[in-house]
């Protein structure tokens, strides 16, 4: 049987990985500055992660959500402690898109409304409502167009006010730092306006932290740079360091009802153990705190390269923008220098989303390689 080919693939076959490196079948070592789409948080196959999952596997891997699972409560407490969101409640699922579906559905239940405001450049996933609030018509099928979504530009307060005043929207959904879109951010002023306009007009605010959450941006959630209280926070990616787990945090104002949300796999014993291992290491190794210095180091090095026109993002969710398309540059980084980086819908931008265990020396390797790749690229232009 052949695979259903939906991905353009690089010709690299990783067979094992350790910390910030992945190794192919010939033991060629690649520096991973992309973390498989921002998923690897505490480093590939971290020994504590492996041990905790292995031990759990020997005990019990899974049972449905019809029984008591104390690991879920332990995970809720640990997320509460590290995010300081003690009053929020946790619902667990398995992926980012599923977290978005649940967040949107919940706000619709809560408000009795069904329209949603999303933003230009947004990416929230590929399932039903998640893809409908994603600003990319190419990945929306006719079926997805049943959702009523209005896309606004970031920072247009007047347009947001005009729409919310109709009091027909269940939610405004935003990424504090856009991931797939290319690291754009709303201004501080607009973030506060979103919160206050949502509160005035009975609309819920959803912070999509699927990519930016779990310490990557320097705060536990990227939106926590500001003093706002979203109704729902979505998370996934770094939460499981490669083990599929996602979830939403729900503001105490939204009340739970039996049957409102549900899942078979979400919150399994194994998934909870994986995420608890991530939180253990985040705390023990102070990975979130370290992102600030690493960002500063990265920015200083990037400024030395004149072809880099803009440095975007925060913490270890970074982008460097050029005035030419970067596809061939990224290819050269992979094939000539064995360094993984990321693209985005902004064709001029390279995304850097390394494991949070990355060190300054890894950035030195990257920038040295980038300088050589840029020379080769300039010759080919
Ligand atoms: C901000 C954001 N939200 C949601 C998703 C969807 O997550 P998943 O691919 O796990 O469904 C992504 C994936 O890239 C994302 O970046």
Ligand 1 atom index nearest CA of 175: 1
pLDDT recorded at residue 381: 60
Q: Which CATH class is domain 47-284?
A: alpha beta
At residue 92, φ and ψ (nearest 5 deg) are -105, 140
Identify which of 75, 34, 128 has the alpha carbon closest to the alpha carbon of residue 247. 75
pLDDT recorded at residue 380: 67
The HSE-up count of residue 305 (CA atoms within 13 Å, CB side) is: 24
Pocket of ligand 1 (CB under 6 A): 37, 95-97, 100, 123-125, 175, 179-180, 208, 210-211, 236
Q: How far is the CA of 103 from the centre of ligand 1 (A)?
A: 13
The residue behind tokens 């370290």 is 290
pLDDT recorded at residue 344: 96
122 close to 178: Cβ distance less than 8 angstroms: yes
Reported as type and span, the H/E element at residue 126 is: none
pTM: 0.98
Tokens standing for 176? 């504090």
The domain segmentation of the chain, as residue ranges, is 14-45+286-380, 47-284
**Burial zone of 221 (CB within 10 Å; 0-12 exposed, 13-18 middle, 19+ buried):** buried
Q: Which residues are bridge partners to 350 per DSSP?
A: 320
Residues 92, 93, 98, 101: what is their CA dihedral angle, to the nearest 10 degrees? -40
Pick out the chain residues at pLDDT < 50: none
pLDDT recorded at residue 39: 98
User: Best of 126, 175, 179 to mutate for ligand 1, by most ligand atoms within 8 A of CB?
Assistant: 179
User: Best of 122, 123, 182 to mutate for ligand 1, by most ligand atoms within 8 A of CB?
Assistant: 123
| Residues sharing a CB contact under 8 Å with residue 334, sequence separation 6 or more, in sequence order | 10, 12, 30, 340, 341
Q: How far is the CA of 37 from the centre of ligand 1 (A)?
A: 9
Identify which of 225, 132, 115, 135 has the alpha carbon closest to the alpha carbon of residue 179. 135
The residue behind tokens 């060629």 is 28
- CA–CA gap between residue 320 and residue 355 (Å, rounded): 18
Tokens standing for 349? 């931008």
- CA–CA gap between residue 318 and residue 304 (Å, rounded): 16
Q: Which residues are bridge partners to 172 per DSSP?
A: 117, 205
Tokens standing for 294? 């690493």
pLDDT recorded at residue 208: 98
pLDDT recorded at residue 143: 95
pLDDT recorded at residue 377: 83
117 close to 172: Cβ distance less than 8 angstroms: yes
- CA–CA gap between residue 100 and residue 88 (Å, rounded): 17
- CA–CA gap between residue 315 and residue 100 (Å, rounded): 24
Q: 100 vs 132, 174, 204, 238, 274, CA distance in Å? A: 11, 11, 13, 16, 21
What stretches of 128-168 adopt beta strand conformation (E)? 149-152
- CA–CA gap between residue 207 and residue 102 (Å, rounded): 13
Q: How far is the CA of 196 from the centre of ligand 1 (A)?
A: 26
- CA–CA gap between residue 353 and residue 216 (Å, rounded): 8
Ligand 1 atom index nearest CA of 97: 11
Instruction: Determine the CATH number of domain 14-45+286-380.
Output: 3.90.1150.10
Ligand 1 atom index nearest CA of 180: 16
pLDDT recorded at residue 379: 75
């Amino acid at each position: 049987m052949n695979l259903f080919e939906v991905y353009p693939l690089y010709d690299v076959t990783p067979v094992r990985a350790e910390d910030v490196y992945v190794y192919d079948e010939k033991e060629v070592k690649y520096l991973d500055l992309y973390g498989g789409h921002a998923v690897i948080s505490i480093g590939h196959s971290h020994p504590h992660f492996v041990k905790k999952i292995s031990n759990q596997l020997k005990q019990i891997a899974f049972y449905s959500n019809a029984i008591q699972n104390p690991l879920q409560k332990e995970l809720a407490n640990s997320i509460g402690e590290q995010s300081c969101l003690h009053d929020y409640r946790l619902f667990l699922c398995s992926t980012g898109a599923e977290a978005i579906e649940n967040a949107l559905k919940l706000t619709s239940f809560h408000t009795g409304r069904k329209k949603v405001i999303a933003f230009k450049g947004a990416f929230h996933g590929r399932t039903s409502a998640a893809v409908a609030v994603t600003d990319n018509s190419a990945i929306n099928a006719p079926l997805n167009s049943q959702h009523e979504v209005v896309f606004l530009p970031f920072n247009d307060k007047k347009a947001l006010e005009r729409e919310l005043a109709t009091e027909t929207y269940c939610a405004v959904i935003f990424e504090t730092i856009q991931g797939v879109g290319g690291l754009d951010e709303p201004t501080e002023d607009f973030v506060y306006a979103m919160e206050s306009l949502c509160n005035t007009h009975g609309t819920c605010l959803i912070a999509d932290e699927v990519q930016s959450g779990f310490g990557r941006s320097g705060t536990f959630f990227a939106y926590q740079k500001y003093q706002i209280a979203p109704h729902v926070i979505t998370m996934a990616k770094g939460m499981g360091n490669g083990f599929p787990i996602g979830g939403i945090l729900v503001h105490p104002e939204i009340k739970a009802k039996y049957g409102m949300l549900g899942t078979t796999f979400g919150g399994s014993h194994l998934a909870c153990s994986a995420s608890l291992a991530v939180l253990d290491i985040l705390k023990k190794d102070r990975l979130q705190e370290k992102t600030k210095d690493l960002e500063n180091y990265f920015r200083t090095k990037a400024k030395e390269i004149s072809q880099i026109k803009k440095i975007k993002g925060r913490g270890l969710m970074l982008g460097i923008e050029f005035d030419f398309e970067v596809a061939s540059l990224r290819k050269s980084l992979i094939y000539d220098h064995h360094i993984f980086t990321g693209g985005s819908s902004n064709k001029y931008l390279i995304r850097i989303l390394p494991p949070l265990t990355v060190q300054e020396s890894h950035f030195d390797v990257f920038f040295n390689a980038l300088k050589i790749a840029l020379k080769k690229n300039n010759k080919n232009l």
